[in-house]
Chain A
Amino acid sequence: MNPFASSSLHPSTPSTTDPYTVVFIVPTGIGAAIGGYAGDALPVARAIAQIADRLITHPNVMNGAQLYWPMPNSLYVEGYGLDQFAAGHWGLQPVRQNRVGLVLDQGIEPDLRLRHVQAADAARATLGLQITDYMVTDQPLGVELRTAASGATWGTIQNPGSLLRAVDRLMTTARAEAIAVVARFPDDAGSDALQDYRHGQGVDPLAGAEAVISHLVVRTFHIPCAHAPALSPLPPDPEVSPRSAAEELGYTFLPCVLVGLSRAPQFVTSQHASLTGRSPTSAIWANQVNAVVIPETACGGSALLSFSQSQAEIIAVGNNTTAMKASPDQLMIPVRRVQSYIEALGVLVSHKAGIHLAALDPHLSHLKPLA
C-alpha cells in the first residue's frame, strides 16, 4: 500500500481502505519521562511506524542531535503545524525532498558557527540533502529561557523580527522550502536544571524556547521548520543518562533537524489551495487520523483538544509521566487508558485489525437484552 495515497481529497472519516494513520505526540519541555530528553521517544516512534501505514509526529520525538532514524512512512511536522493540522485548518502534503534553508543566529561565535556550517555541508555530501546557502541574522536573536510555575520550560526571543527577516530572505532569494534555525542559547553549565537534564531527570531547560522559535517561523510563513540550539561543549560527565547522551556526541544538534526537514510535508490549506504552489491532491487531513498516542497527563494541548472531537482513538499512556496535570477525564476527553507504550502498541495492532479489545481479555461478559 502506498502510505501517502488518499482515496479522496477531504473525506469525513477514515475508511477501512485508507492508510492506517497514527499521530504520536510527546510535547516538548514538560519533563516527559520518555521523550523529554534527547530524542528518546524515537524508539516508540519506530515501533508505531511498524504498525501504522502513516506515522505523523514532531521534531521533539524524532530529533536525537546527531542521531536520527528516517522512516519512509513518517511525517515530520513541527508543533504549530501539528496544531493547525489537528484543527483541520491545514493538510499535510508529502514531498520527495525539500530545499532546506539554514538560519544562523548572529550571536553564535565564529568557531561554533563554522561547526554548524560544516554539519550542513556534511549533510549535503554524506546524505545527499539539498541545503541552500545560509543566512546569518542581522541581529543576535537573544534567546531567554524561562521555567514556569507548572515546571514546563518556555522562552522568548528578543529579536524575532531578525529571525523572520532571515527566513524571508532564504525563501525569496534561495527558494528555501523548509527552514532550519540555529539559535545561540545561554550556556549555563553549572545550573541544577542542566545537571538534572544530563542525568535524565527534570525538564529540558531549552525545549520550550526552541518550540517558540520554530512555531513563530511556521505560523508566519507556513513552511516546515525545526530548531537546533548552539551551545558550547560541556565537560565530559560519566553520570550522563542514556536518555540524554545523544546530545553529548558532538558540536551541533543540527544533523537530525536537517534530515527531518529534508522530507517534512508541506502545508496546504483547508480551502484546497496550496500554500506552497504544490498540488494538494494527495494531502493528508486530520479526519484521516485513526489514532493519537499521548502521555496521559499532557492532554491540555491544542492538538489533542482538537483531535478529541474527531473519530480518532486517543490512547493515553500512564507511565510516560510529565510535569503537566491535565488528564483526559478532567478535560472531558474520551480516551483509552494504557499503562505503557508496549500496551499502546497492542491497542494499535487491534484497532488497525478491527478487533475489539474485550475479545482479548479472558473475562468476556455475556450479551444482555438492550434495555
Chain B
Amino acid sequence: MTKDAMNRVDISTNQGHPGPPDWTLADAETVSTLFLSLTVPLQRSPKDLRDRVESMLRSHGEPLRWAITSVDTAQQTVQVEAVVTQGRWTS
C-alpha cells in the first residue's frame, strides 16, 4: 500500500460461505462482494479524482459501485464508500 493510500479502511466481507455439499470445483469459483470505506487524496481535476478512486479500489477488488460521500478541504482528501467484487465469474 502506498503512502498516500488509505488512512482508514473499514472492510467487511461475506467471503467464506460454505456452499452446499454437492458443489463442484467450477461452482466454487465464486464471486464475493465486499464493502469498504477509504480516504483518497483530492486530485487536480474531477477526472483524475475518478481515476484515482477507481485505482485505489482496484487494490481490493473490481469496483462495482462507489461514491464520494464527503470532502475534507483542510486535509485535501475525500471519503469514499464502495462495494467491490473479488473472485472471478466464469460461465
Are A331 and B83 closer than 8 Å at their CB atoms? no
State which of A142, A325, A333 has its C-beta within 8 Å of the C-beta of B69.
A325
What is the 8 Å Cβ interface bit string for chain B, positions 48-78, against chain A (1 contact, 0 not)? Answer: 0110011000000010111111110100001
Instruction: Point out the residues of chain B lying under 8 angstroms from A215, CB to CB.
Output: 64-65, 83
Contacts of A152-184 to chain B: CB distance below 8 A: 152, 154-161, 164-165, 168, 172
Q: How many A-B residue pairs have CB under 8 A?
A: 132
A76 within 8 A of B: no
Are A331 and B71 closer than 8 Å at their CB atoms? yes
Q: Say yes or no: A148-B17 contact (C-beta < 8 A), given A154-B35, A157-B33, A332-B45.
A: no
Residue of B nearest to A157 (CB): B33
Instruction: Point out the residues of chain B lying under 8 angstroms from A124, CB to CB.
Output: none
Instruction: Point out the residues of chain B lying under 8 angstroms from A331, CB to CB.
Output: 46, 49, 68, 71, 78
Are B85 and A216 closer than 8 Å at their CB atoms? yes
Are B71 and A306 closer than 8 Å at their CB atoms? no
Instruction: Point out the residues of chain A lying under 8 angstroms from B7, CB to CB.
Output: none
A150 within 8 A of B: yes
A327 within 8 A of B: yes
Instruction: Point out the residues of chain B lying under 8 angstroms from A327, CB to CB.
Output: 71
Are A305 and B14 closer than 8 Å at their CB atoms? no
Cβ of B38 to closest chain A Cβ, rounded Å: 12
Interface residue total, chain B, C-beta cutoff 8 A: 41
Are B17 and A300 closer than 8 Å at their CB atoms? no
How far apart are the CA atoms of A79 and B12 in the complex, in Å? 23
Interface residue total, chain A, C-beta cutoff 8 A: 50
Are B30 and A150 closer than 8 Å at their CB atoms? no
Describe A's contact surface by its main secondary structure.
mixed
A339 within 8 A of B: no
Instruction: Point out the residues of chain B lying under 8 angstroms from A298, CB to CB.
Output: 67
Residue of A nearest to B91 (CB): A168
A27 within 8 A of B: yes
State which of A87, A150, A325, A333 has its C-beta within 8 Å of the C-beta of B81.
A150
Instruction: Point out the residues of chain A lying under 8 angstroms from B71, CB to CB.
Output: 300, 325-327, 330-331
Are A300 and B68 closer than 8 Å at their CB atoms? yes
What is the 8 Å Cβ interface bit string for chain A, positions 76-102, against chain B (1 contact, 0 not)? Answer: 000110000001000000000000000
Instruction: Point out the residues of chain A lying under 8 angstroms from B33, CB to CB.
Output: 156-157, 160, 212, 216
Cβ of A29 to closest chain B Cβ, rounded Å: 9
Q: Say yes or no: A324-B70 contact (C-beta < 8 A), given A142-B14, A332-B45.
A: yes
A144 within 8 A of B: yes
Cβ of A303 to closest chain B Cβ, rounded Å: 9
Instruction: Point out the residues of chain B lying under 8 angstroms from A220, CB to CB.
Output: 89
Instruction: Point out the residues of chain B lying under 8 angstroms from A164, CB to CB.
Output: 31, 89, 91
Instruction: Point out the residues of chain B lying under 8 angstroms from A144, CB to CB.
Output: 14
A308 within 8 A of B: yes
Cβ of B82 to closest chain A Cβ, rounded Å: 8
Which A residues form the contact surface with B (CB < 8 A)? 27, 30, 79-80, 87, 139, 142, 144, 146, 148-150, 152, 154-161, 164-165, 168, 172, 211-212, 215-216, 219-220, 298-302, 304-306, 308-309, 323-327, 330-333
Which B residues form the contact surface with A (CB < 8 A)? 10, 12-14, 17, 19-20, 27, 29-35, 37, 45-47, 49-50, 53-54, 62, 64-71, 73, 78-81, 83, 85, 89, 91
The 8 closest A-B CB pairs, nearest first, are A300-B68, A161-B30, A150-B69, A330-B71, A305-B50, A325-B70, A156-B33, A305-B46
15 chain-A/chain-B pairs, Cβ below 8 angstroms: A87-B50, A146-B12, A149-B69, A152-B69, A159-B30, A160-B32, A161-B89, A212-B33, A215-B64, A215-B83, A298-B67, A301-B67, A304-B46, A324-B68, A325-B71
